[in-house]
Structure formats: C-alpha cells, structure tokens
Homo-oligomer: A and B are copies of this chain.
Amino acid sequence: MSGRREEILDAALAIADEHGIGKVSMRALAERVGVTPMALYRHVSDKAELLDGMVGRLLAGLLPPDAGKARAWDERLAALGHAVRTMARRHPWAAQLLFSRPAVTPDAVRVVDLIYIALLEAGVPDREVPRLERLIATFVIGFAASEASGRFGSGSVDPRGRRGLLPEGELPGHSRLAPWLDLPSDLDTEFEADLDDLLRLIKAVAGGQD
C-alpha cells in the first residue's frame, strides 16, 4: 500500500540513531529521503505522527525476542524487561517518547497483552492485573528513560561533588552511605536486582489471595 511511509520511517530512525532525535527535522529527513520537505506531508500528517510512527516501529521490534515462549512466566517478563532496556540503549531517544503518549498502537497493545498473560499465569488476581502491568511497565520504561537521559548521573557528576554542594552534616544519609555511593554504578546488575524484586512483589500479590 504505502511503502513510501515505511521508507520515511526508516530514514527517520536512521537519523535519530546516528545524530540524536534532535536532528530529526522535516528538512533533514526530506534530504535523506531525497525529496522536498513538504513531500513528507503526503505520508505523514504531522511531525507528531512521525514520532508516533517511530516508536511504533520500536514496539514492534519488542515482540520477536519473546518468540521462545515455552519458558515460565517470570522468565518471559524478565526477558521483556531486558528487551525494553536494550531497545532504549540502542535508541536513547525512544524512552522519553514512550512516556508521552498512551500505548494504543496495535503493537503496544500486544506487548501489554503479553504482560497480562504472564501476570495471570503467575496467579495474580484478575482485579490486580492491570494495576501491576502499569506498575511494572512504568518502572521499566522509567529506568530506561533515566538511563538514556542521564538522570542516573553515570559519571559526569561524581558523588563527591554532589555531596560538596551542601554544608557538612546536612546530608546524613549521603555521608553514611559514602563508601557505596563512591563506587562506580553498575546499572546492568542493578536492573537485574530490580527485576528480581519486582518478580518477588508479583509473587507476593499472587500468593496473598488466590
């Protein structure tokens, strides 16, 4: 039908990956596709719709990794979590966008359904499933977004500097935790531990009342 639109989304994704989402302008995109800026509007009504199309592409890419579906529910959830994080590392611009619009594209709904099924399989009461889905998704996307945007302050601002901002004694928590805060943060194992905790939380909700 409209192979041209896919071509445009491809180009937009390429620009975003190579030079950041900020460089995705209608002009730059048009040049990459080889047309005039205004030609893009035949295939995309808005720049907003363009961005929506881009995240749609990424969400679609979230499904395949879960193909080996023979595993247990907790492994499937963990795999999905890792897939989201991997996606966000490959496309650092994406995580922010995931927070900006409701997940109503077909692919997004499919992902949500996977989570629903896993939670049901875990024994979570029906009533609690939608809530827990939102809780988990919110955390995972939030983690990915934080990582991508630098909210976790990877290293540009070291903890010592952070503590120096305030007079001695004003940050008792920070001083007590100083030895741990000075360690280089390993977000890989941290995310792993977070997923473990969340899975435990799910089991608690499931075990508590079924």
Contacts from A to B (Cβ < 8 Å)? 96, 98-106, 109-110, 112-117, 120, 126-127, 129-131, 134-135, 138-139, 141-143, 145-146, 149-153, 156-157, 162-163, 165-166, 170-174, 176-177, 179-181, 185, 190, 193-194, 197-198, 200-201, 204-205
B151 and A113 form a contact (CB under 8 A): no
Shortest beta-carbon distance from A51 to chain B in Å: 13
Bound CA span A127–B96, Å = 29
Bound CA span A126–B106, Å = 44
List residues of chain B with CB within 8 A of the CB of A100. Answer: 96, 149, 151
A146 and B99 form a contact (CB under 8 A): yes
List residues of chain B with CB within 8 A of the CB of A139. Answer: 135, 138-139, 142
A171 interface neighbour in B96, B113, B185, Cβ under 8 Å: B113
A104-B153, A113-B173, A149-B99 as given contacts; A127 in contact with B162, CB under 8 Å: no
List residues of chain B with CB within 8 A of the CB of A201. Answer: 197-198, 200-201
Bound CA span A179–B127, Å = 9
Bound CA span A197–B200, Å = 11
Question: What are 29 A-B contacts defined by CB distance under 8 Å?
Answer: A96-B99, A99-B142, A99-B146, A99-B149, A100-B149, A101-B151, A102-B151, A103-B153, A104-B157, A104-B162, A109-B163, A110-B171, A113-B171, A113-B172, A114-B173, A115-B173, A116-B177, A117-B173, A120-B176, A126-B180, A129-B177, A130-B181, A131-B194, A134-B152, A135-B139, A138-B143, A138-B146, A139-B139, A200-B204
Residue of B nearest to A190 (CB): B131
B180 and A135 form a contact (CB under 8 A): no
List residues of chain B with CB within 8 A of the CB of A194. Answer: 131, 135
A99-B96, A138-B139, A197-B205 as given contacts; A177 in contact with B130, CB under 8 Å: yes
Bound CA span A49–B129, Å = 41
A173-B113, A173-B117 as given contacts; A190 in contact with B99, CB under 8 Å: no
A142-B141, A142-B142 as given contacts; A151 in contact with B181, CB under 8 Å: no
